[in-house]
Amino acid sequence: MTTKVIHEANLAEVKELGENSAEFIIKPLYYGYGNTLGNSLRRVLLSSIKGAAITAFSIDGTNHEFSTVPGIREDVVDIMLNLKNIRLKNHSDSPVEATLEIKGSNQSKKDGEGRVTASDIRLPADVELGNPNQTICHIDDPNVTLKMNFIIESGRGYLTIDEASKDRLYSDMIALDAVFTPVLRVRYKVENTRVGQDTNLQQLSLTIDTDGTITPREAFEEAAAILVNQYKALSGKTEVETAPAPGNVPEEDNSGLLLPIEELGLSARTANALTNNGIKNLNQLIGLTETQLKDLKGFGAKALEEVQEKITEFRK
């Protein structure tokens, strides 16, 4: 009975589905690893990617969330809900402050309805805005001047309103619960795939939608790095034998990889055994482990020895 080597995952393709959406194709995977990788990446993407959010705010003329603001259509609770939908990216690890000051008459001239949006906030240089058209409130009285102050913090996951209240920089500000994650949605699908005669492989398709403050590629790579760090801390000095994904080799060995099997100088019997098993070029051949070669139909010990000598010769 032979023990198959668990080969490395291979990011085969990235499909851009929209400005903030992309699909990542990972294949071929050792059988069962489609769900293993898909579920772990999805959970980390939705809970652990670094982001930023407004955690506290104040409005001149109000001192608690259960009040109204003179001349403003929305009450404070409605404004709180709108503030939680503002998407931000903070390049500083420390909390930063931002301000907003608008006179109703000026705002009415701008859009005709007195709408105040996220783009009206004066942000420090370290902070980027992902959705400038997000509505904050509407000024109905042209003589009213709206003044607001904000605290913006970086974090991961979810910050409850109790935690935000406890750690407020200013006790007179209204605390907000905050969702820091910039990843809006993650979906994955696992399908069977094959390389040559090896049909016991899987393909993982992972679709990531973000809020625009981070690209899907950045979110994907950060999630993978988080998982690597977690498992590395647990593995100690133990190492497991791995091999390149079938049909894939390291980039530094990219010369001549498309050379057809027929041109490698192998015996006719060995060359025919490889081509009959769907191995068409050197790239596919060099990506197979010894166990996978032994499992090929019509591939004996002499053919294995001949192929190994040829691969060794190529790598010199």
Task: Using pLDDT thresholds of 50, 70 and 90, give the confidence band for residue 156.
Answer: very high
Q: How confident is the model at residue 249 (pLDDT cuts 50, 70, 90)?
A: very low
Predicted pLDDT at 109? 56
pLDDT at residue 232, rounded to an integer: 86
Minimum mean pLDDT among 75-84, 125-134, 249-258: which range?
249-258
C-alpha span between 301 and 296 (Å, rounded): 11
Whether the pTM exceeds 0.85: the reply is no
Mean pLDDT over 218-225 rounds to 94
Q: How many CB atoms lie within 10 A of CB 121?
A: 24
User: What pLDDT sits at residue 150?
Assistant: 96
Range from 198-202, 226-230, 300-304 that averages highest in pLDDT? 226-230
pLDDT tens-digit readout, 19-38 = 899 999 998 888 888 999 99
> Tokens 């001149």 identify what position?
60
Handedness of CA 62, 65, 68, 73 (dihedral sign): positive
**Separation of alpha carbons 38 and 106, rounded Å:** 50
Residue 117 Cα to chain centre, angstroms: 28
Regarding predicted confidence, which is higher, 195 or 121? 121
Rounded distance, CA 142 to CA 129, Å? 27
Q: Is the preceding peptide bond at 28 cis, omega within 30 degrees of 0?
A: yes
Q: Where would I find the H helices in the chain?
A: 33-47, 76-83, 104-111, 161-166, 216-235, 268-276, 282-286, 290-294, 301-315
Query: Which pLDDT score, from 0 to 100, does residue 8 have?
Result: 77
Choices 2.170.120.12, 2.140.10.30, 3.30.70.890, 3.30.1490.20: CATH for 51-179 = 2.170.120.12
Q: What pLDDT, on a 0 to 100 scale, did the predictor assign at position 110?
A: 62
Residue 113 confidence (pLDDT): 78
Cα 249 from chain centre:
25
Average pLDDT score over residue span 201-211: 94
Instruction: Give the C-alpha distances (Å, rounded to integers) separating 164 from 81, 114, 137, 197, 264.
Output: 15, 31, 23, 57, 66
Q: Does domain 11-49+183-234 have CATH number 3.30.1360.10?
A: yes
CA 114 to chain centre: 37
The CATH superfamily holding the domain 251-315 is: 5' to 3' exonuclease, C-terminal subdomain (1.10.150.20)
Q: Is the pLDDT of residue 223 over 90?
A: yes
**Confidence label for 6 from pLDDT (cuts 50, 70 and 90):** confident
What does the block give as tokens for 32? 């069962």
At 225, is the pLDDT very low, low, confident or very high (cuts 50, 70, 90)?
very high
Contact 86, 178 (CB under 8 A): no
Distance between CA 14 and CA 26 in Å, rounded? Answer: 9
User: Which pLDDT belongs to residue 123?
Assistant: 94
Domain residue spans of the chain: 11-49+183-234, 51-179, 251-315
Instruction: Average the pLDDT over each of 123-137, 192-206, 207-221 and give the range with the smallest value.
Output: 192-206
Residue 300 has pLDDT above 60, yes or no: yes
Angle at 43 between CA 38 and CA 46, to 5 degrees: 120
**Average pLDDT, whole number, for the chain?**
84
Contacts 24+ apart (CB under 8 A), 227-235: 227/40, 227/41, 227/44
Cα–Cα distance list, 153 to 54, 166, 167 (Å): 6, 14, 11
- Indicate the pLDDT class of residue 148, thresholds 50, 70 and 90: very high
* Per-residue model confidence as pLDDT tens digits over 251-289: 444 445 567 877 778 888 888 888 888 787 777 777 777
